[in-house]
């Protein structure tokens, strides 16, 4: 298998870039954030309090989450229902950030992710891919950008989808999510020792994609 791990904070451009890199390589793009979001949606629908660790630990085991690929796009199925359209709301984003700290949630989803990585050549993005999920990935990238740049990207993304958005609120939410993602006890967001840092603040999507494809090419030549 040839696996590429892309980690970084919310809004760094991971999914856009990972999707393009996967297409260029002929690999599958695996969005692990969508799995945490699907779990959050499940817990949200069950009316679970995000601060009730015990209830989350218990309920997450019953969530039936699976991944399908339709026309090369990842589809997340919750008890067989395609929930892709419900994963990006502010409520689900907040719930995902809170519930993804739970070790039982992580264990269940990491197992699913590792299985995909063993079966296919993947470009997988998330927070702990290079450090925990695919420690043997051939290429590891740590993608980042300033908080303001990331907030503006998320804001534009929501507006383009016809959703309401408030830039100041999104900036604050990104700050809070960074804080939680980087400081949680289990699998915090951090750059793997062998990951290459790419700061996308002043780069276009094309420039970032080309840079990563170049890193992959260099790595392949050395393998
Ligand atoms: O990348 P995203 O914004 O879709 O991720 C949603 C949430 O899930 C985010 O708060 C961080 C968490 N997450 C995680 O803990 N580990 C991952 N591998 C991917 C996402």
Write out the two tokens for 204: 């276009």
Cβ of 32 closer than 6 Å to ligand 1, yes or no, is: yes
Cβ of 97 closer than 6 Å to ligand 1, yes or no, is: yes
CA-to-CA dists, residue 40 to 74, 159, 164, angstroms: 18, 23, 21
Please report, in tens digits, the pLDDT of each residue of the chain (223 residues total): 999 999 999 889 999 999 999 999 999 999 999 999 999 999 999 999 999 999 999 999 999 999 999 988 899 999 999 999 999 898 998 999 899 999 999 999 999 999 999 999 999 999 999 999 999 999 999 999 999 999 999 899 889 989 899 999 999 999 998 998 899 888 889 999 999 999 999 999 999 999 999 999 999 998 8
DSSP annotation of 85 reads G
How far away, in angstroms, is 202 Cα from ligand 1 center?
23
State the Cα–Cα distance between residues 30 and 114, nearest whole angstrom: 11
Between helix 147-160 and helix 167-183 the angle, nearest 10°, is 120
State the Cα–Cα distance between residues 149 and 137, nearest whole angstrom: 28
State the Cα–Cα distance between residues 207 and 186, nearest whole angstrom: 33
State the Cα–Cα distance between residues 17 and 6, nearest whole angstrom: 9
Cβ of 42 closer than 6 Å to ligand 1, yes or no, is: no
Cβ of 20 closer than 6 Å to ligand 1, yes or no, is: no
Q: Can you say how many angstroms the Cα of residue 37 is from the centroid of all Cα atoms in its chain?
A: 9
Contact indicator for 146, 201 with CB cutoff of 8 Å: yes
Nearest to 32 by CA among 106, 121, 92, 137: 106
Cβ of 131 closer than 6 Å to ligand 1, yes or no, is: no
How far away, in angstroms, is 37 Cα from ligand 1 center?
7
Question: Read out DSSP for 161-172?
Answer: TT----HHHHHH
State the Cα–Cα distance between residues 184 and 206, nearest whole angstrom: 33
Q: For the whole model, what pTM was predicted?
A: 0.92
Cβ of 10 closer than 6 Å to ligand 1, yes or no, is: yes
């Amino acid at each position: 298998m040839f696996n590429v791990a892309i980690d970084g904070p919310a809004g760094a451009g991971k999914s856009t870039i990972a999707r393009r890199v996967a297409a260029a390589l002929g690999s599958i793009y695996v969005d692990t954030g969508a799995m945490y979001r699907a779990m959050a949606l499940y817990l949200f629908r069950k009316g679970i309090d995000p601060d009730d660790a015990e209830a989350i630990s218990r309920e997450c085991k019953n969530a039936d989450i699976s991944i399908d690929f339709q026309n090369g796009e990842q589809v997340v199925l919750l008890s067989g229902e395609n929930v892709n359209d419900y994963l990006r709301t502010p409520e689900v984003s907040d719930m995902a950030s809170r519930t993804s700290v739970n070790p039982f949630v992580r264990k269940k989803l990491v197992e699913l992710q590792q299985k995909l990585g063993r079966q296919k050549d993947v470009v997988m993005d998330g927070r702990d891919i290079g450090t925990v999920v695919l420690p043997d990935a051939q290429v590891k990238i740590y993608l980042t950008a300033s908080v303001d740049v990331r907030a503006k990207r998320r804001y534009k993304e929501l507006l383009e989808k016809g959703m309401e958005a408030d830039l100041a609120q999104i900036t604050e939410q990104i700050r809070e999510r960074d804080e939680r993602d980087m400081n949680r006890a289990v699998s915090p967001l951090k750059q793997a020792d062998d990951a290459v840092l790419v700061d996308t603040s002043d780069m276009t999507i094309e420039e970032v994609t080309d840079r990563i494809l170049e890193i992959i090419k260099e790595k392949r030549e050395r393998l």
